[in-house]
A and B are shown apart, each in its own frame.
Chain A
Amino acid sequence: MNILIEEHCPDALQVVIRCREADAQVQQLKAHIALFDNRLQAKDGDGTRLVHTRDVLYFESVDDRTFLYTADAVLEVGYRLYELELMLPKQDFLRSSRSQIVNIQRISTLHPELNRTLTATLCNGEKLTISRKYVPHLKRLLSL
């Protein structure tokens, strides 16, 4: 793979992938580049669309498939949770349980439960459980 940088272009920053065929590897590369701009490529029915990470409420893994939830849509992404954990900005996203990553910026309230978990109410009213294992990390993040 050759990487070329052309300077002094009049247009805005542009990345062009030239290839023989847009196979899975190329699609993955495209998704990585999109994430550089804080956008994730997600499947929406038949097509794909780019979703800005700030619009994501949380990611959830169900039956080996990963979904992202926005305020009005559920889309499938081609990454595992551990990959997303590495890729997403650490100050904005937190692993909240074995199967979920939550956008901290989209949490509106936190409430401790009897079993030492935390219930996070998201801006759309949805409630997520932050499991005991991940509560200390959140507390460290919030300087508690």
Chain B
Amino acid sequence: MTNTKQEWTRFFIWLRNGFCFVSTWLLFLVWLLCKAGHTYMIPADTIAAVMLGSLGGVLLFCAVFTKVFIRKFGFAVRFTLFMALTVLYELGFAHAALSHLHEQANAPMLFGSAASSGWLVFAGIVLVMYGISMGIYAVYRKKKGALYTEALRTYQKQCQ
């Protein structure tokens, strides 16, 4: 059972790292395309800053996540950190994109009078996603607790 678990864990680590690797190169290629003039609505400089930022972030994630974060922090801390960083990233990206689109109007979608409902929707989505994820984790912990208790009882029987 332990071997199977270790194999699954290794599989997911490789899957995650592979996904990060592919995403990083995808972002890099998108940035190259934008630089080459194939932009749709965002200027290449903005893309360059955002994409290079995410490139650095993803590389950092690949390099230190397993070794540092998983060992030092529990799921709740890691997930909260992830959500906070994602929100910051999304805000930065949205700000950069929408500021460019509405340069003349001083980005009404972000700072205008109609922006409050948009921000509420954004905050709502983030909070609901956070709540659902923590709920799923609570169910997972409950199941894990049952598994641990079962293993404990087996051990107690073996020792008697």
* Contact between B145 and A104, CB atoms less than 8 A apart: no
**Looking at the complex, which one of B77, B141, B148, B160 makes contact with A142 (CB distance below 8 Å)?**
B148
* Contact between A109 and B2, CB atoms less than 8 A apart: no
Residues of B within 8 A of A52 (CB): none
* Contact between A115 and B155, CB atoms less than 8 A apart: no
Give the number of A-B contacts (CB < 8 Å).
54
The verdict on B144 contacting chain A, using a C-beta distance below 8 Å, is yes
Q: Contact flags (1/0) for A54-77 with B, using CB distance below 8 Å?
A: 000000000000000000000000
* Contact between A107 and B145, CB atoms less than 8 A apart: no
Residues of B within 8 A of A111 (CB): 141-142, 145, 148-149
The verdict on A87 contacting chain B, using a C-beta distance below 8 Å, is no
Which residue of B has the minimal Cβ distance to A92?
B159
Q: Contact flags (1/0) for B145-160 with A, using CB distance below 8 Å?
A: 1011101101110011
Q: Contact flags (1/0) for A33-55 with B, using CB distance below 8 Å?
A: 00000000000000000000000
Which residue of A has the minimal Cβ distance to B5?
A144
**Looking at the complex, which one of B74, B152, B160 makes contact with A110 (CB distance below 8 Å)?**
B152
* Contact between B159 and A144, CB atoms less than 8 A apart: no
Which residue of B has the minimal Cβ distance to A141?
B155
**Looking at the complex, which one of B75, B137, B145, B159 makes contact with A91 (CB distance below 8 Å)?**
B159
- Give CA–CA (A84, B20) in the complex, Å: 48
Which residue of A has the minimal Cβ distance to B147?
A144
Within 71-106 of B, Cβ neighbours of A (below 8 Å) are at 74-77
* Contact between A144 and B145, CB atoms less than 8 A apart: no
* Contact between A110 and B149, CB atoms less than 8 A apart: yes
* Contact between A142 and B144, CB atoms less than 8 A apart: no
* Contact between A144 and B151, CB atoms less than 8 A apart: yes
Q: How far is the CB of A103 from chain B (nearest CB, A)?
A: 10
* Contact between B1 and A143, CB atoms less than 8 A apart: yes
- Give CA–CA (A68, B99) in the complex, Å: 67
**Given known contacts A92-B159, A104-B156, A143-B1, A114 and B76 CB-to-CB distance under 8 angstroms:** yes
Q: Can you offer 28 A-B residue contacts whose CB atoms are under 8 A?
A: A91-B159, A92-B159, A104-B156, A105-B156, A105-B159, A105-B160, A107-B152, A109-B145, A110-B148, A110-B149, A111-B148, A112-B144, A112-B145, A113-B141, A114-B75, A115-B76, A115-B77, A116-B74, A116-B75, A118-B148, A141-B155, A142-B148, A142-B152, A143-B1, A143-B151, A144-B1, A144-B147, A144-B148
